[in-house]
Amino acid sequence: MAQLISASIDVSKISKDKLIKGDKGTYLNITISINDEVDQYGNQAGIYESQSKEEREAKEKKNYLGNGKIAWSSDGGTPTKKAPAPAPTPTVEETDLPF
């Protein structure tokens, strides 16, 4: 199944030492994680700077850059909707408690 993800990142959070100079430009390796659940803002993807094997083994903290939403899916489904807001906690007057 093919999907398009619409995302944004905070470029001020990019670690300058992670930028790679190439023949045709400057690059940043990133990792995009697709979550099973949608957050309260409708986001289903997280974007991080890619880590080296040594950084992963040392369990270094990931540098979070931004998030995204599934905008289109080839299976004909629509993008996942926002997670429902939690139900409000009933007040004492709204319960059937005898006291």
| Identity at 46, one-letter amino acid code | G
Strand pairing class (20-22; 25-27): antiparallel
The length of the chain is 99
Q: What is the per-residue pLDDT for 88?
A: 67
CB of 67 within 8 A of CB of 7? yes
The mean pLDDT of 75-94, rounded to a whole number, is 60
3-state secondary structure of 81: coil
The mean pLDDT of 17-21, rounded to a whole number, is 96
Given pLDDT bands bounded at 50, 70 and 90, which one contains residue 76?
A: confident
The mean pLDDT of 11-39, rounded to a whole number, is 95
Domain ranges, ordered by start, for the chain? 3-77
- Cα separations (Å) of 59 from 48, 50, 55? 14, 13, 6
